Amino acid sequence: MRGLFARRRTREPGWLAVSMQPGALTFAHGVCGPAGKCAIKRCGTRELGASFKDADRVAKDLGVDQYQCLTLLSPTDYQLLLVEAPNVPIAELKTAVRWRVKDMLDYHLDDATIDVLDIPVDPAGGGRGHSMYAIAARNDIIQGCIERFTAARIPLSVIDIAETAQRNIAALYEPPDRGVGLLYLGPAHALLTINFRGELYLARRIDVGIEQLLSAGEGHRDEAMNRILLELQRSFDHLDRQFPFVTMAKLLLGPEPRDTGLAAYLSANLDLAVEPASLSDVVSFEPGAPPEGEAAWRLFHVLGAALRNEVKTL
């Protein structure tokens, strides 16, 4: 989320994305050049104590003070709300959006940090309404995140979200003037995003996660896959109604810790090409091989956040 923090420029180009969870710190350093060429310079996971007690030591080992650093909010720590764009000057936009979302929050507006993400209108015009996403998080969530990174001596510049991390990845697969969807299965829910011309047009969470697909019996697994299929079809129908100028090229599937069979199921039931989002196809990993399997699944959004384009901000 842009504008939450301001820190000095660091010496290394690109972004170091860092996610701290009880027991583990994941990181990725990404650099995207002006011609759209992107590289992951380093990435991985370091063990932490359950109370983050080793975070400062790990951060020092990584040399975080040499980078622009960002982190990702947990999906449970924020809401992504679709609102009609207020017809106000840019300087008044966030204030106007705050009042638009006040009745959508289950806590007081004064306790909320709000940022905005524009959804570009039809480039050919047509007079359709202009929408945008509002990202809302409790102030104490944001403050707690800042305090953890301050305690670990990590110079945090940006707080990001999974939806824009997926946008960064999907944008690398976009053919000219075609939209691209990306579906990622998290532990408890799936996240669908749809890009067009490098911008996020649709984001939707689906209440089926990787744990459900891997642990369910065959009948329940088929039911869960059918729920995902139905939600995808509804999302594509919504996209067609709201943004008819966006023609879908394909649906990308994020990595899985183990094969769930979802790729084959969607390929057989969707009237749309379904392909794996293998980052090694569009990003160079320097040095070494890209993460695979469970490591690729665990690092996916950290890698996406590290591929943030400095020209385009949230």
Where are the CATH 3.30.420.40 domain residues in the chain?
175-276
For 248, the token pair is 């879908």
Beta-bridge partners for 69: 16, 156
Q: pLDDT 10s per residue in the chain (314 long)?
A: 444 434 445 478 999 999 998 889 999 999 997 766 899 999 999 998 777 778 999 999 999 999 999 999 999 999 999 999 998 888 888 899 999 999 999 999 999 999 999 999 887 765 567 899 999 999 999 999 999 999 999 999 999 999 999 999 999 999 999 999 999 999 999 999 999 999 999 999 999 999 999 987 777 889 999 999 999 999 999 999 999 999 999 999 999 999 999 999 999 999 999 999 999 999 999 877 899 999 999 999 999 999 998 544 33
Q: In this predicted structure, what is the pLDDT of residue 181? A: 98
As a whole number of angstroms, the distance between CA 197 and CA 297 comes to: 25
CATH number of 175-276: 3.30.420.40
pLDDT of residue 215: 84
The per-residue DSSP string of 217-253 comes to: -HHHHHHHHHHHHHHHHHHHHHHHHH-TT--EEEEEE
Which residue spans of the chain are classified as CATH 3.30.420.380?
75-141
Query: Per CATH, which fold does 75-141 belong to?
Result: Nucleotidyltransferase; domain 5 (3.30.420)
Q: How far, in whole angstroms, is CA 206 from its chain's centroid? A: 14
* Nearest C-alpha neighbor of 294 from the set 253, 259, 267, 261: 259
pLDDT given for residue 36 in this prediction: 66
